[in-house]
Amino acid sequence: MSEAFLPYGRQTIEEDDIAAVVEALRADFLTTGPTVGRFEAAFAERVGASHAVACANGTAALHLAMLALGVQPGEVVIAPSTTFLATANCARYVGAEVVFADIDPASGLMTPETLGEALMRVGDRRLRAVLPVHLRGDAVDLPALAALARDAGAVLVEDAAHALGTTMDFGDGAETVGDGRHSAMTTFSFHPVKTIATGEGGMVTTNDPDLAERLRTFRSHGMVRPEHGPAWWYEMPEIGFNYRLPDILCALGLSQLAKLDRFAEGRRRLAAAYGDALAGLAPLVQAAASPPWSRPVPHLMTVLIDFEAAGRDRSQVIEALRARGAGSQVHYIPVHRQPYYADRYGVAMLPGAEAWYARCLSLPLYPAMTEADVARAAGALGEALGL
Ligand SMILES: *Cc1c(COP(=O)(O)O)cnc(C)c1O
């Protein structure tokens, strides 16, 4: 076969995205200019939040959220083990300790049960934040997690790096991830594999004006301009970072955001095509479960494979897929097992994260794919498993 290789994910950059960047390069401000505010306003409007603060990447967004909350050394943050490293690392950036929550091995999501179990491991330490992840684009049970966090005296911060455009219905009508109905802040990433891309880029949304102000301050060195001083005066009451997103990338973000509905529709159509194409590979291959309240914009096409029953290990399947032109990726190696965290905390028993890790594999999914590409990837998986 001579068809192009299908990576597990990739950006969709079109001529008008390129034109938007070129225009931004000709403007007066390459950074800290008016396009930043325009991107933030459009993003806030799109997800239904009062405030959006653009920043350098999704990791910076998480770090800024911890700084804005004032999380202190020795305090505790709960994060799921099945996520990208950054969800947990942001707690360590501010000196806090991580308690890893388990996940439901069918969906990969933190649940009220797994959060409840993690809460018991916090002990008498001060819990400040709970950081659920909308893995693959599927929404966690926000009202239930928010209630548990509130009862424990902690704040909910959503890691929505996978979930731009996802909506939910918990029985009170449609809600959008990032609208802040259940959480203090929500973070997003615009890494090329995510739903919209700026190369590097991130956003934090919130409905709390004080948090928005603190996010902006920490994004730019911790600098403030008190009203009492002369025009040139600035002060740094707390130390911050340079986590700004330049106007060049905000212009790309604006252009990409305008296409979100089309990208979302494409992802939904391709995920549905996978559903049909993979039906013949059951029960060896099963799509990750989607909770009933979730209306995802699918970010990852993660399937759960019974490698033992197939008589092949994951590396062999990944290699066989690659040989047939299909990329794949493991989302994720449990973060609590990473050497840094294992050295610091030991390795907790998280059977859900282990079961998910033993079976998960993400297949190619991005809007530029066709239904024929889906058939090719699904067919390659069948062959790779000897079906
Ligand atoms: C991509 C990702 C991040 C980090 O985003 P970057 O923009 O790459 O820094 C954080 N959390 C999750 C779940 C992610 O997938």
Task: Report the residue among 191, 196, 200, 365 best suited for mutation to probe ligand 1: largest number of ligand atoms under 8 A from its CB.
Answer: 191
Question: Does any ligand 1 atom lie closer than 6 A to the CB of residue 162?
Answer: yes
Q: What is the mean pLDDT of residues 226-247?
A: 95
Does the CB atom of residue 359 touch ligand 1 within 6 A?
no
Q: Whose CA is nearest to atom 3 of ligand 1?
A: 58
Ligand 1, residue 162: give the atom nearest the CA: 15
Please give the positions annotated as active site: 194
Summarize pLDDT for 80-126 with one digit per residue, the tens. Answer: 999 999 999 999 999 999 999 999 999 999 999 999 999 999 999 99
Mean local confidence (pLDDT), 326-353: 97
* 302 pLDDT more than 50: yes
CB 161 near ligand 1, within 6 Å: yes
HEC string for 102-144: CCCCCCCCCCHHHHHHHHHHHCCCCEEEECCECHHHCCCCHHH
* pLDDT at 9 (0 to 100): 97
Q: What is the pTM of this model?
A: 0.98
Q: What are the distances in angstroms from CA 154 to CA 56, 120, 219, 374?
A: 26, 14, 23, 42
| pLDDT tens-digit series, residues 141-151 | 999 999 999 99
The answer to whether residue 1 scores a pLDDT higher than 80 is no
Separation of alpha carbons 338 and 379, rounded Å? 33
pLDDT band for position 277 (50/70/90)?
Answer: very high
Atom of ligand 1 nearest to the CA of 135: 13
pLDDT for position 3:
78
Ligand 1 centre to CA of 64 (Å) is 14
pLDDT for 200 beyond 90 = yes
Compute, in angstroms, the gap from residue 160 CA to the centroid of ligand 1. Answer: 9
Ligand 1 geometric centre to CA of 197 (Å)? 12
Q: Is the pLDDT of residue 2 over 60?
A: no
What's the alpha-carbon Rg for the chain, to the nearest Å? Answer: 21
Residue whose entry in the numeric block shows the structure tokens 């299908």: 6
| Confidence band, pLDDT 50/70/90 cuts, at residue 353 | very high
| Ligand 1 within 6 A of CB of 134 | no
Q: Structural domains in the chain?
A: 15-257 (3.40.640.10), 260-384 (3.90.1150.10)
pLDDT digits (tens, 9 = 90+) for 30-85: 999 999 999 999 999 999 999 999 999 999 999 999 999 999 999 999 999 999 99
User: What distances in angstroms separate CA 37 from CA 51, 56, 202, 226, one per listed residue?
Assistant: 10, 14, 14, 21
Question: Regarding beta strands 127-130 and 167-169, do their DSSP bridges make them parallel or antiparallel, or are they unpaired?
Answer: unpaired
Nearest-CA residue for ligand 1 atom 6 is 58
Length of the chain counted residue by residue: 387
Atom of ligand 1 nearest to the CA of 201: 7
Q: How far apart are the first and last CA of the chain?
A: 19
83 lines ligand 1 (CB under 6 A): yes
Distance 85 CA to ligand 1 centre (A): 8
Ligand 1 center from residue 162 Cα (angstroms): 8
Q: Is 86 in the pocket of ligand 1 (CB under 6 A)?
A: yes
Residue 186, ligand 1, Cβ within 6 A: no
DSSP per residue, 274-323: HHHHHGGGTTTEEEPP--TTEE-----EEEEE-HHHHT--HHHHHHHHHH
Nearest ligand 1 atom, CA 86: 10
Ligand 1 centroid distance, CA of 62 (Å): 9
What is residue 338's three-state secondary structure?
Answer: coil
Q: What are the structure tokens assigned to 365, written together?
A: 């999914």
- Mutating to test ligand 1, I would choose from 55, 82, 87, 330 the residue with most ligand atoms within 8 A of its C-beta, which is 87
Cβ of residue 202 lying under 6 Å from some atom of ligand 1: yes
pLDDT of residue 228: 86
Q: Is the pLDDT of residue 326 over 60?
A: yes
Nearest ligand 1 atom, CA 62 = 10
Cβ(57) to ligand 1 under 6 A?
yes
Asked if residue 139 lies in contact with residue 156, where contact means CB atoms within 8 angstroms, the answer is no
Q: Confirm if 364 and 373 have CB atoms less than 8 A apart.
A: yes
Ligand 1 pocket, 159 CB below 6 A? yes
Task: State percent of the chain over pLDDT 90.
Answer: 98
- Helix or strand run (H / E) with residue 147: helix 142-151
